[in-house]
Structure 1
């Protein structure tokens, strides 16, 4: 099978549009992550791919096979689409042993040769569950159950493997283990996959490309590196961890915050098109705490701030500060600042700094401001094409 193509896919429930004329292409062997908050349409898109939901419009094709075509009235049922599905809730048959759970897709598809040739045992070994074949699901831990579910999803060598938030029911340690195992399996087997999550760390770790969704549409579709370094919109930046926001206003001498502090935008100032207001986004790790303005590195933007609260986080303290009417979060090195922060720093007058290269800037329409030499432009499209 070659590409999986979704064109103008639409799905509504009553007056609520959940998927809105979505276009998406998944290359052969590619691991695509649908990322976004609850209600953005990612799970509905996954269920349409599986045939568990009937779209209202558009087409879905697996290679040269049309799975769904609203205009042509084609709708291939789930059991004939050759997809593997791994659910959030494991969805193992409680009355079947592990062996029979893994074998179930082969029996439904009547793949008798695969059953005879040891496909079940090979799938179990891939996820380190070979010793569990004669146990029931109730005799397994959550992590073991999810690994069995992964084996069941892969055993029939499907054209497409669909993951519906499969790690969200696991504790943090098991989540990391199973995530790594899924990544290793994909590197080895190169199956095509769509993985739904709202967790950015899962998305960055697993995805070849990330499809970030908003209101049933793609906001950005690009590699994890591109999304991390160049979020296409204020919405994407906020969702992937750039939680610090400063609203800037153009003055005769440059850009300033609402409280009047000057901000250096580097080669993104002035803004082509004459916008008088922009939004600046920063990650907590890119803001630095100082007791005095003179301690900030040369060339940084420096803002006066007031400490709101601090929390010990091991090698760093999580610190909230107020900068004018904006509340920002940062991580302060415990070795440098731990003593005075732990002694009770609430209300202390401090300074925060950042480099302009670490900031991302968005225009009044929420789209990214891109540097072009000594000028910048507001991007004409919020959707990445890489």
Structure 2
């Protein structure tokens, strides 16, 4: 049911706009690969090239060594002849067809009569716990049910590869979590190969065996979710996965100073540069009242409160320290009473450990941010 996918030198452009730029990528048999990145980075175009819905200008795509596209050899297998299933952001169910007919559609399109007669439709519906909905129309289903049917349809023909184009973005938060868990469960049970496009790093961490983080049509980092979380290869990756706090640091003798003039000691590799940028997770920063004692092992910054939003067990807090702003989560049990009474501009202290900082060379582009 699965195939090894090889992409080599793939380039797709629209006019002078290069959207996918010489992409090289191998996807192992049965792997769940997530293409992650902001709008315009090339992830959806890459997916559409895999499906045969876009024709690249250069490069090649093969499934288990069989060419699906090769610009030099002028090979371009049409979408219905590639062993792929598609799950779209908009569900894309035929409104005038019952659930049964929607799931059966790819089997009929590929003339898989034996599969149609052997209960494949019912099997696919049962996989997503929707066997009781087979005779309903899409308009009679909830959003979550419609997306489950779209998943069943994408898998009914038992393709070599299932392609997911941001399938959860139209669902509310609760349904998004439910369907995400369902997709992961199906992959673990069925072992199908998958490429999943998203701009949501929490989805990517939850689903992917590996993440391919894209920037300007190229892969910036390709690694497991744990490796990406622990070792983001660039400031671009660190920022995109949620390491939103940024300090610009300049060397001053043996010490380093922030933009606010606070001196600190770095225990991280600074690449021999005189200026670096540092990234921190919101959870790496601790909030303190001005009169609190802070461990001498922590770097402390005097700051002012900018906002505090209640989030249940935590407050989402934003503070300013000179020209820099920081975001953090403060425990409602510890800080809730005084945060509820606090006003914008009140003095606070934040602290963090030097080893929590991820250090990156400071480029001209970075310093202009």
- TM-score under structure 1 normalisation? 0.92
1:276-329 Cα offsets, whole Å, 9 max, x none, are 110010111111011137622331111111111211111111111111110111
Q: How far did 1:28 drift? A: 0.4
Q: Which residue of 1 aligns with 2:140?
A: 139
Q: Which residue of 2 aligns with 1:113?
A: 114
- Output the CA distance in 1 between the equivalents of 2:177 and 2:242: 19
Q: Which residue of 2 aligns with 1:373?
A: none
Contact 1:234 1:366 in 2 (8 A): no
- Output the CA distance in 1 between the equivalents of 2:84 and 2:354: 46
The question of 1:327 aligning with 2:328 is answered no
Q: Which residue of 2 aligns with 1:316?
A: 314
Q: Which residue of 2 aligns with 1:13?
A: 14
Query: Alignment RMSD, CA only?
Result: 1.4
- Output the CA distance in 2 between the equivalents of 1:58 and 1:297: 56
- Output the CA distance in 2 between the equivalents of 1:191 and 1:313: 38
Q: Which residue of 1 aligns with 2:41?
A: 40
Q: Which runs of 4+ in 1 moved over 6 A?
A: none
- Output the CA distance in 2 between the equivalents of 1:159 and 1:312: 46
- Output the CA distance in 1 between the equivalents of 2:292 and 2:332: 20
Q: Which residue of 2 aligns with 1:169?
A: 170
Contact 1:310 1:341 in 2 (8 A): yes
Contact 2:268 2:359 in 1 (8 A): no
**3-state SS, counterpart of residue 97 of structure 2:** coil
**Do the aligned partners of residues 276 and 156 (structure 1) sit closer, same or farther apart at CA in structure 2, a change above 3 Å counting?**
same
Q: Which residue of 1 aligns with 2:129?
A: 128
- Output the CA distance in 2 between the equivalents of 1:285 and 1:255: 23
Q: Which residue of 2 aligns with 1:376?
A: none
**3-state SS, counterpart of residue 329 of structure 1:** strand
Q: Which residue of 1 aligns with 2:211?
A: 210
**Do the aligned partners of residues 87 and 189 (structure 1) sit closer, same or farther apart at CA in structure 2, a change above 3 Å counting?**
same
In structure 1, list runs of 5 or more residues that go unmatched.
368-386
Pick one of 280, 284, 287 that aligns with 1:286: 284
Q: Which residue of 2 aligns with 1:77?
A: 78
Q: How far did 1:365 drift? A: 4.2
Q: Which residue of 1 aligns with 2:354?
A: 356
Q: Which residue of 1 aligns with 2:252?
A: 251
**3-state SS, counterpart of residue 266 of structure 1:** coil
Q: Which residue of 2 aligns with 1:382?
A: none
Contact 1:160 1:192 in 2 (8 A): yes
1:346-367 Cα offsets, whole Å, 9 max, x none, are 2111211111222211112499
**Do the aligned partners of residues 225 and 278 (structure 1) sit closer, same or farther apart at CA in structure 2, a change above 3 Å counting?**
same
Contact 2:3 2:193 in 1 (8 A): no
**3-state SS, counterpart of residue 261 of structure 2:** coil
* Number of matched pairs: 364
Q: Which segment drifts farther, 141-150 or 345-354?
A: 345-354
**3-state SS, counterpart of residue 176 of structure 1:** helix
Q: How does 1:15-34 map to 2 (within 5 A)?
A: 15-34=16-35
Contact 2:268 2:355 in 1 (8 A): no
1:45-94 Cα offsets, whole Å, 9 max, x none, are 00000000000101101111101111111100000001000000111111
Contact 2:103 2:121 in 1 (8 A): yes
**3-state SS, counterpart of residue 154 of structure 2:** helix
1:205-224 Cα offsets, whole Å, 9 max, x none, are 00000000011010101000
**3-state SS, counterpart of residue 295 of structure 1:** coil
Q: How does 1:38-77 map to 2 (within 5 A)?
A: 38-77=39-78
1:219-244 Cα offsets, whole Å, 9 max, x none, are 10100000011000000000000111
- Output the CA distance in 2 between the equivalents of 1:223 and 1:213: 14
Q: Which residue of 2 aligns with 1:378?
A: none
**Do the aligned partners of residues 293 and 220 (structure 1) sit closer, same or farther apart at CA in structure 2, a change above 3 Å counting?**
farther
Q: Which segment drifts farther, 44-53 or 302-311?
A: 302-311
**3-state SS, counterpart of residue 239 of structure 2:** helix
**3-state SS, counterpart of residue 278 of structure 1:** strand
